[in-house]
């Protein structure tokens, strides 16, 4: 890699339920780029899937207060920067004339969830030979599909909780679940992040309610055996070879598990980093995290979530996130700080990993 100056395209927003989380990540990354004096162009994707760049994208980002509250930005606010008149509802890409000939050397995707983290955006970049940070289209798609990621993890030798997958609400029956796993169970949309739509059911009524909620976020859900234990997560950084960052234990303060509020509300959870766990468990978490990172052929950075079942003295793989949150309360930045790596330095390191791959 040479030392030439490059321009980064920071893309954020998107039509998924993780829109506000994406904007919160973008605010943190943009601040880091400014501190490191790295040239960048902000690129916002509205909730209606319109693309805006430059000053308009900056203004769009300012609509959010800085936290990651759900539905903080309305559809009306989203489109106010796109439509040219009160009655014009045309959705179209909008590039300011001053940016029409701007060359972007490397894309920094920060669109969490569907469309940004599931391989679609990555496929778009690959189609047009655009260099970008994070995992490729196939790895992103597999990681986003929680049941498929668990299949690959199991084949790679990782422990995973038992689960059932339903691709239609018409296929769901309470006894299909209760016949094979006892309460409590965990209900998850199969392809969504940030704990959106996740619930724990302790009864048939709660199961039905949770299933209905999960199906409101997508066409496929997963019902998983609940494993009581300590929530652990670890970032995997780099490519040749990838290495594990310090492990974090997550202790929810305002919810029974690490749900959306516990993740993004101030004081919603406590992060203990490095986690105070036995040495053998630490080694297994690090080894398993790197194993699934390699098995999926991930790149640059990912975050892997586990449950530590103390009664069995073992860990269970839950999921892998190929675009981890980069907000002020996110986990991977906490792990980097434990290594005395300031957030702006970590972002520069991440950019440099991608530059090595593309030789730019």
Residue 281 half-sphere exposure toward CB, CA atoms < 13 A = 25
Q: Assign 125 a pLDDT band (cuts: 50, 70, 90).
A: very high
pLDDT for residue 255 is more than 90? no
pLDDT confidence band for 305 (50 / 70 / 90) = very high
Contact 320, 303 (CB under 8 A): yes
CATH topology of domain 163-225: Dna Ligase; domain 1 (3.30.1490)
pLDDT confidence bin for 269, thresholds 50/70/90: confident
Q: 95 vs 102, 139, 331, CA distance in Å?
A: 10, 30, 34
| Arithmetic mean of pLDDT, 204-221 | 93
CA separation (Å) from 86 to 57, 80, 90, 184? 20, 9, 11, 50
- pLDDT at residue 86 in the model: 41
- pLDDT (0 to 100) of residue 99: 53
Q: Which residues contact 319 (CB under 8 A, 6 or more apart)?
A: 143, 146, 149, 150, 304, 305
Provide the pLDDT for residue 92. Answer: 42
Domain 7-134: assigned CATH number: 3.40.50.20
Q: Residue 178: is its pLDDT beyond 90?
A: yes
Return the percentage of the chain with pLDDT > 70, whole number: 83
CATH code 3.40.50.20 region(s) in the chain: 7-134
Name the region of 342 (left: φ>0; alpha: ψ -120 to 50; beta: rest): beta
pLDDT at 194 over 70: no
Q: What is the pLDDT of residue 77?
A: 61
The predicted structure's pLDDT at residue 101: 62
8-62 tens-digit pLDDT: 999 999 988 888 889 999 999 999 999 999 999 999 998 888 888 998 899 888 8
Tens digits of residue pLDDT in 317-340: 999 999 999 987 789 999 999 999
| 121 membership: H or E segment, kind and range | helix 120-127
Specify whether the CB–CB gap between 167 and 159 falls below 8 A. no
Per the document, the length of the chain is 360
Query: What is residue 93's predicted lDDT score, i.e. its pLDDT?
Result: 44
When mean pLDDT is compared over 1-10, 102-111, 231-240, the highest value belongs to 231-240
pLDDT of amino acid 169: 85
Q: Is the pLDDT of residue 66 over 70?
A: no
From CA 146, how far away is CA 316, in angstroms rounded? 14
Average pLDDT over every residue of 86-98 = 44
Q: Given a cut of 70, is residue 91 above it in pLDDT?
A: no
Mean pLDDT of the chain: 88
DSSP assignment of 175-226:
HHHHTTSPSPEEEEETT--TTTT-EEESSHHHHHHHHHHHHTT-S-EEEEE-
> Which residues of the chain does CATH 3.30.470.20 include?
144-159+228-322
**What is the pLDDT at residue 17?**
82
The pLDDT value given to residue 73: 58
Pairing, β 248-252 against β 230-237: antiparallel
Is this structure's pTM higher than 0.85?
Answer: yes
CATH of domain 144-159+228-322: 3.30.470.20
């Amino acid at each position: 890699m040479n030392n030439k100056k490059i321009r980064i395209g920071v893309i954020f927003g998107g039509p998924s339920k993780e829109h506000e989380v994406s904007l919160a990540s973008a605010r943190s990354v943009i601040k880091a780029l400014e501190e490191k004096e790295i040239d960048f162009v902000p690129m916002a994707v509205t909730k209606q899937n319109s693309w805006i760049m430059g000053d308009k994208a900056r203004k769009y980002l300012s609509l959010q207060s800085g936290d990651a509250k759900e539905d903080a930005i309305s559809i009306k606010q989203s489109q106010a920067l796109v439509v040219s008149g009160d009655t014009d509802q045309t959705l179209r890409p909008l590039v300011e004339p001053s940016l029409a000939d701007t060359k972007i050397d490397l894309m920094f995707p920060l669109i969490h969830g569907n469309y940004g983290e599931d391989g679609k955006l990555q496929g778009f970049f690959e189609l047009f030979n655009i260099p970008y940070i994070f995992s490729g289209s196939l790895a992103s798609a597999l990681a986003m599909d929680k049941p498929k990621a668990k299949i690959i993890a199991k084949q790679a030798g990782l422990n995973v909780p038992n689960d059932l997958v339903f691709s239609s609400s018409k296929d769901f029956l309470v006894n299909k679940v209760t016949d094979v796993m006892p309460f409590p169970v965990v209900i998850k949309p199969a392809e969504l992040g940030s704990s959106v739509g996740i619930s724990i059911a302790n009864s048939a009524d709660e199961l039905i309610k949770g299933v209905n909620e999960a199906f409101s976020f997508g066409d496929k859900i997963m019902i998983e055996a609940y494993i009581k234990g300590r929530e652990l997560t670890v970032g995997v950084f780099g490519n040749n070879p990838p290495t594990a960052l310090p492990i974090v234990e997550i202790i929810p303060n305002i919810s029974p598990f690490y749900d959306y509020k516990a993740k993004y509300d101030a004081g919603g959870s406590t992060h203990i980093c490095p986690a105070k766990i036995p040495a053998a468990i630490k080694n297994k978490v690090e080894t398993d995290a790197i194993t699934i990172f390699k098995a999926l052929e991930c790149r640059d950075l990912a975050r892997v979530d586990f449950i530590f079942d103390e009664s069995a003295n073992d860990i269970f793989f839950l999921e892998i996130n190929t675009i981890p949150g980069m907000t002020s309360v996110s986990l991977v930045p906490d792990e980097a700080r434990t290594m005395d790596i300031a957030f702006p330095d970590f972002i520069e390191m991440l950019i440099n990993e991608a530059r090595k791959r593309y030789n730019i």
